Amino acid sequence: MLHHHPRRPLSLVVLLLLLASPLSWAGPPNPTASDGAGNTAGGTGALSLTTGTSNTAFGFQALFSDTTGSNNTASGVFALFSNTTGDNKRVSSK
């Protein structure tokens, strides 16, 4: 004799609904925020010395030496580490 398990179909439906939920695919919230000058950084030491504007740096010490440069974009460990000027783009290391 076959036994019917009513919980199994319900569990499957709940699992499918959770997998289809936008929250399950959204990933973590953005932990960064721009400062008043439009600079955005993520990563230890990224963009830590700047007084410039509109810079974006993600990665360990990305744009670390930038003091007055503006409009820079750096992504990766040590990306544009020694850069002090503006209008530079770099995706990589050093």
Contact by Cβ (8 Å): 52, 68: yes
Q: What is the mean pLDDT of the chain?
A: 78
The residue that leads in pLDDT, 43 or 19, is 43
> Distance of CA 82 to CAs 10, 12, 15, 59, 77, Å?
58, 54, 50, 14, 12
Q: What percent of the chain has pLDDT over 90?
A: 32
Instruction: Put the strands of the sheet holding 56-58 in their side by side order.
Output: 40-42, 56-58, 73-75, 89-91
pTM of the shown model? 0.64
Domain layout of the chain by residue ranges = 38-94
Assigned token pair, 85: 């000027």
